[in-house]
Structure 1
Amino acid sequence: MKIGILSMQRIKNYGSFLQAYGLKSMLENLGAEVEFVDYHPGKTLVQSDGGTGIKRKIFKVFKVFKGRAPLSEKIRFINYKKNYAINYYPYLGITSEMNYSPNVDLLIIGSDEVFNCVQNNTNVGFSPELFGKNSHAKNLISYAASFGNTNIDKLKKYKVAEKVAAWLNDFDDISVRDSNSAITVKDLIGRKPHINLDPVLMYDFLKSGKIPKDIDKMYTHKYLLLYGYSGRFTVEECKKIRIYADSKNLKIYCIGGVQDCCDRFIDCDPFKVISYFNHAACVVTDTFHGSIMSIITHRQFVSVVRKSGYGNSEKLIDLLERLRLKDRQIYDLDMLDSFLSKKIDYTITDKIIANERVKAMEYLKNWVNVH
């Protein structure tokens, strides 16, 4: 069966890569022939702070160099972004040539925030193709798709609720990854979608043979892994993280983005990222996939929940409660020491993940077997 995945595979961050690779691998394990499908970014419904195109790139570079991290690590981060596509797209089988609306037996939209259409990211915007518009597939479904922090009120505010509802009604089946997305789908079309977990949880990366057992020999000291987009951790938060790291004699390794308290920015392939999680003394993150990588590697970690600005509360709270790890939510880094000193029991979490993996494969298998 020929299957297309329309996802965030060209977004330059490790979480986007790993969820795309995970879903592709799950489908290939079911005997499918898989290709990635591209979309045309739409005009943003929310104004972008950094503008578009070259202006947006310059704005992002300026934000990086404005921070207090060592210059060498800022340059390492810029090179990571610059070389990301040429280094890591080949793992997914994608090239610079775009693949729009191919003729496939099944088009799967997801995972990641493919339905998050009320946002200011000009790489996504309000794109009808992310809701299946202009699809040439025989069947159309989603897998673990997310609206992010978009909800029915925002869709109505920006006068796109009816359009989104009409597109969702054309799906043969809908799977989302979180409660906000499930509620939004129900509000829009009156259908209760399946809930399936993200492919980074559902595909067993640790048993895939892709994850190196060792990290680079040059990084031999113990470290706190700080995982987040550049500049998302405030100056005050970085001070608190530094105090904690120094008290435990830990270096601070940053992956994904450069932060003010960074000792070393790690530029490595997406599979080795999981290895860096696996060897970390502890993890501080404010991202969805950073939390997931902490969980699958059984790390001592905290997830910083943010309710202001763009926010992350919908997805992080849902993920951690779903996996019975609610006590990993942290709102004030003054409490970092007490949170990280509390040992995490992953017994129940592992059982939930095992059951969800069976459920996820059953959902996909039902559609892979449709001819």
Structure 2
Amino acid sequence: MSKIGILTWLHNENYGSVLQGYALQKFLIDEGFDAEHIDYNASIKTKVLNLIKNRNSLKLFIEKWNFYQIKKVCKNPNLLKMRSHRFNDFKVKNMRLSERYTNPEELKGTNGKYDIYISGSDQIWSPMLLNPVFYLSFVEDKYKKIAYAPSFGVSSIPEIKKNKIAEMLNKYDRISVREEQGTKIVNQLTGRIVRSVLDPTMLLTEDKWEKVAIKPKDEKYVVCYFLTFNKEYYEKAKEFADRKNLKLILISTTKETYTLDCDIRIDVGPSEWLGYIKYADYVFTDSFHGCVFSMMFEKIFFIFKRFSDSNANSQNSRIYNFINIFGMDNILVNDINKFDFYSEINIDYVKIKETLNEESKKSADWLIGAIESEG
């Protein structure tokens, strides 16, 4: 049996990143494949060198240090340590991991350990933080290279990075991407016609996610999960919870969250995060994976824009792609002052789950076909 090595983001303490990594491996193992994650966690030196070499956005690089800034304002740093522990514990208990690698040179040593390499999902192909490792640049040409649902995260590639990305894309045997916009980017850069597939989290059924979700002690609550701080969003969520006579729970993501007078949950690992969504009465989110799991658990939820559409670095495309697939435009908050949060929200989960099952099968068939194909 061929051995598969998966490379994706696993170490940024982002719920969606870890859960999509878990989902892809879980799906492959359940289908009878021998798959493990290549445990890549770049050293600080490697990250800085990649920043310089690939002319990445310094602003975006600095924003990645938000977690470290949180430590300065968090009133109980031990809760941050507990969150880290829960992330690590989730990976140890639920995922097969290789030995640890910290730079591209070490990764070259994986050649011969795997027959097939898969670039996993999430925004690992973002040109803003271009990292050739996630394009499998270290893999020798004799091994099969597959991309399953990676995202560029943007609608266009900066001119200065087009040639480099095109060169790396052309070395793949099979490519799929997560968003329709990504298919256009690949076609423009390489001439190849590729298809969009579902995020790996949607390859697993609801009952499989229920098995790893931990039920919170809280009952009757609205949960907020925003990746970008927007005080107006939180104020609207607070007003909504008060009018519904529900508790408001915020899952912390940014240092600004700690300036709010509300119930902030810090020590939340992937399983706890799933539980907060599954058992919520309502969900407010600007997160793609927040939307995915709200849909998976059939919640009433509201989708907020994380970026202005005029922002050149906007990552709203993945939200729009999700909405278009499942027909959920009625819960997208385009204008917070005009959106009616209190009228009856109609989410046709019978139709949505039919679509999910159909699209999940198509995506699963593509992936299995890519693995089993010759060449």
DSSP 3-state at the match of 1:174:
strand
**Contact preservation (8 Å) 2:86, 2:268:** no
Per-residue Cα deviation, 1:13-72 (whole angstroms, up to 9, x for no partner): 11111100110011112211111123754216111367499x76543434x55xxxxx45
Question: Is the Cα contact below 8 Å between 1:145 and 1:175 reproduced in 2?
Answer: yes
Q: What is the Cα deviation at residue 6 of structure 1?
A: 0.9
Q: Does structure 1 retain, via aligned residues, the 8 Å contact 2:90–2:271? A: no
Residues 1:130 and 2:131 aligned together: no
Corresponding residue number in structure 1 for 2:29: 28
Deviation, 1:208, is: 5.5
Equivalent position to 1:147, from 152, 157, 168:
152
User: What are structure 2's unaligned runs of at least 5 residues?
Assistant: none
* Aligned mates of 1:56, 1:198 — CA distance in 2: 26
Q: What does residue 323 of structure 2 align with? A: 320
Change (3 A) 1:105 1:205: farther
What is residue 246 of structure 2 aligned with on the other side?
250
Shift of 1:352: 1.2
Contact kept in structure 2, 1:288 and 1:316, CA below 8 Å: yes
Query: Can you give the 5+ residue segments of structure 1 that lack an aligned partner in the other structure?
Result: 66-70, 119-124
Greater mean alpha carbon deviation, residues 360-369 or residues 334-343: 334-343
In the alignment, the residues of structure 2 paired with residue 24 and residue 89 of structure 1 have an alpha-carbon distance, to the nearest angstrom, of 11
- Give the TM-score taking structure 1 as reference length: 0.84
Relative to 1, partners in 2 of residues 1:52 and 1:169: Cα closer, same or farther, differing over 3 Å? same
Alignment match, 2:91: 89
Cα distance in 2, alignment partners of residues 177 and 271 from structure 1: 24
1: distance between equivalents of 2:99 and 2:328? 40
Is the CA contact (8 Å cut-off) linking 1:13 and 1:256 kept in structure 2? no
- For residue 332 of structure 1, what is the aligned residue in structure 2? 335
Counterpart position of 1:294: 294
Q: Is the 8 A contact 2:80 2:266 kept in 1?
A: no
Shift of the alpha carbon at 1:345? 1.1
Change (3 A) 1:177 1:170: same
The Cα of 1:209 is off from its aligned counterpart by 5.9
- After superposition, residues 1-371 of structure 1 pair within 5 angstroms as 1-37=2-38, 38=40, 40=42, 41=47, 42-43=50-51, 45-48=56-59, 51=62, 58-62=68-72, 65=74, 71=75, 75=77, 78-90=80-92, 91-94=94-97, 97-98=100-101, 100-101=107-108, 102=110, 103=112, 104-118=114-128, 125-136=129-140, 138-149=143-154, 151-152=156-157, 154=158, 156=159, 159-207=160-208, 210-212=211-213, 215-217=215-217, 219=218, 221-229=219-227, 232-255=228-251, 257=253, 259=257, 260=260, 262-265=262-265, 267-308=267-308, 311-335=314-338, 338=341, 341-370=344-373
Whole-Å separation in 2 of the counterparts to 1:50 and 1:362: 37
Query: CA, structure 1 residues 320+56, in 2 after alignment: closer, same or farther (shift >3 Å)?
Result: closer
1:252 alignment partner AA: L
- Partners of 1:77 and 1:126 in 2: how far apart? 32
Contact in 1 for aligned 2:87/2:270 (Cα 8 Å): no
Distance 1:267 1:282, change over 3 A: same
Larger mean CA deviation between 95-104 and 179-188 belongs to 95-104
- Number of aligned residue pairs: 347
Whether the 8 Å contact between 1:2 and 1:106 is mirrored in structure 2 is yes
- Distance, in Å, in 1 between the alignment partners of 2:209 and 2:216 is 20
What do the CA deviations read for 1:106-155 (whole angstroms, capped 9, x no partner)?
1110211111121xxxxxx3211111211146100100111001523x2x
In structure 1, distance between residues paired with 2:155 and 2:57: 11
Distance 1:32 1:185 in 2: 28
Distance 1:109 1:9, change over 3 A: same
TM-score, normalised with respect to structure 2: 0.83
Secondary structure of 1:183 counterpart: helix
- 1:365/1:86 CA distance change after superposition, 3 Å: closer
Residues 316 and 80 from structure 1, CA distance in 2 versus in 1: closer, same or farther, beyond 3 angstroms? farther
